[in-house]
Amino acid sequence: MATSLKNLSSYDPAKVPDASGMKFGIVVSEWNEEVTAALAEGAVNTLKKHGCPQQSIFVMPVPGSFELTYGARLIAEKHALDAVIVIGCVVQGETRHFDFICQGVTHGISELNLEYDIPFIFGVLTTENQQQALDRAGGKHGNKGDEAAVTAIKMVGLKK
């Protein structure tokens, strides 16, 4: 979580396993693309930084955050992956739509973690406004995509 005390992009690279033999899926919501594209780029760059070759990273766009769960299941079934990173951004609006989407995606990703024998990493921003999202997509709080990629690598390492 990004706070004034922790940057999402700050971590000790020495504590991250080598990702050269790992395969990752990234499912990214097209909704709020300014934010989600930056998150996906952060995730891809971090995976590559830790040795994962580009050809071992599979990216699948889906229309919105609610579709992330189904997309994550599809990419896991289509490719023999070690982990799936789920990237989206839901910004609080004037209605309760925010609550339902956030709850649905969170529950869906939790279910996938229990159903499949690979980790599904929650890289979905749930912010009060657009500026908070931008601050966590490469802005003053770092990039949640970086954090999600590091988490994915560590979880695969934990499993191995």
Summarize pLDDT for 18-58 with one digit per residue, the tens: 999 999 999 999 999 999 999 999 999 999 999 999 999 99
The verdict on residue 118 lying in a domain is yes
Catalytic residues: 97
The pLDDT of residue 8: 86
Dist. CA 48–CA 144, nearest whole Å: 16
Confidence class for position 93, pLDDT limits 50, 70, 90: confident
- Residue 65 is part of a domain; what is its CATH number? 3.40.50.960
The verdict on residue 11 lying in a domain is no
- Residue 68 in this model has a pLDDT that exceeds 80: yes
Query: Which residues constitute the domain of residue 65?
Result: 32-159
The verdict on residue 138 lying in a domain is yes
The pLDDT of residue 4: 61
How many domains does one find in the chain? 1
Tens digit of pLDDT for each residue in 103-133? 999 999 999 999 999 999 999 999 999 999 9
The verdict on residue 70 lying in a domain is yes
Q: How far apart are the first and last CA of the chain?
A: 26
